[in-house]
Amino acid sequence: MTFNHHNELVRKATAVLESLESGSPEAITAYVHPEKYIQHNQALSDGREAMLGAMDHLREIGTKVSVKRALVDGDFVVLHSVYDFFGPKIGIDIFRFENGLIVEHWDNLQEMVEKTPSGHTMIDGPVTIQDIDKTDANKGLVQSYVESILFGKNPELLNSYFDGDRYIQHSPHIADGLSGLHTALQALTEKKIEFQYTHLHQVIGQGDFVLTVSEGLFDGQPTAFYDLFRVENGKITEHWDVVEAILPAEKRRNSNSRF
């Protein structure tokens, strides 16, 4: 994978997202496979035609998209963006390419929260990818953290993934530091809010950024968890997330899995 190839994939994926704002079909026609586009956003019908058919409506409601960070892992491109779609939202979109065309798409979208306990926004922070040579090690570390801690397999290892209390948090309801994470989890337990990760579906990483896509329950609702981590010197240093409830079967517009 050359640097230019990475850039090309990011350029195409970004152009497709930005076309949701412009209403112009060129990028979708040029970069999305005409027969083979698998849509995992269950609020949308399958295939490229459905996407093209939604363009006018998206433009009319004033959809806006501003891509803030991108990472490429093999044939996968992850875009982390601010949307205006029935109000300000944060989105993470995943595109899979085959022979230069987009053939598959997953995403999560969440209301943007203005005032967070950490004082960071849900999207700010570093955007430039560092440590390309550490991609595999960082993906391994993050996968181990998700399985050991978020899935609860080895909770006693928690401190080993962090550099003391140095942990920058962009999740909208959690303060900075491991202390902030601990406080938030305690609050959920006290309110008897069920919060559980049950399946890890994807680990996508480039350099110091790693995205995990997980399935679980939040407050009894089947939920998709997209967690984006930044790793520095072998420790988890920063975290963003986008959490979205999974539509019940009767509201789904396609029969593909959410994951």
Specify the CATH number for the domain of residue 225: 3.10.450.50
Residues 95 and 142 in one domain: no
Measure Cα distances from 50 to 14, 35, 79 in Å: 19, 12, 21
In three-state form (DSSP H/G/I as H, E/B as E, the rest C), the secondary structure along the chain is CCHHHHHHHHHHHHHHHHHHHHCCCHHHHHHECCCCCEECCCCCCCCHHHHHHCHHHHHHCCCEEEEEEEEEECCEEEEEEEEECCCEEEEEEEEEEECCEEEEEEEEEEECCCCCCCCCCCCCCCCCCCCHHHHHHHHHHHHHHHHHHHCCCCHHHHHHHCECCECEECCCCCCCHHHHHHHHHHHHHHCCCCEEEEEEEEEEEECCEEEEEEEEEECCEEEEEEEEEEEECCEEEEEEEEEEECCCHHHCCCCCCCC
| Across 135-154, average pLDDT | 96
Residue 99 covered by a domain: yes
Q: In the structure, what pLDDT confidence band is assigned to residue 5 with cuts at 50, 70 and 90?
A: confident
Residues 64 and 107 in one domain: yes
Q: In the structure, what pLDDT confidence band is assigned to residue 4 with cuts at 50, 70 and 90?
A: confident
Residue 122 covered by a domain: no
Residues 109 and 187 in one domain: no
The string of pLDDT tens digits covering residues 188-203 is: 889 999 889 999 999 9
Asked if residue 1 has pLDDT above 60, the reply is no
Task: Give the full edge-to-edge strand order of the sheet including 221-232.
Answer: 168-169, 235-245, 221-232, 209-218, 195-206
The string of pLDDT tens digits covering residues 61-96 is: 999 999 999 999 999 999 999 999 999 999 999 999
The string of pLDDT tens digits covering residues 153-169 is: 999 999 999 999 999 99
The string of pLDDT tens digits covering residues 219-232 is: 989 999 999 999 99
pTM of the predicted model, to two decimals? 0.96
The string of pLDDT tens digits covering residues 238-249 is: 999 999 999 999
Question: For the chain, what is the domain count?
Answer: 2
Domain range spanning residue 239? Answer: 132-245
Mean pLDDT of the chain: 95
Residues 213 and 136 in one domain: yes
Residues 11 and 111 in one domain: yes
| Across 99-106, average pLDDT | 97
The string of pLDDT tens digits covering residues 229-238 is: 999 999 999 9
Residues 138 and 71 in one domain: no
Residues 19 and 104 in one domain: yes
Residues 95 and 148 in one domain: no
Q: In the structure, what pLDDT confidence band is assigned to residue 177 with cuts at 50, 70 and 90?
A: very high
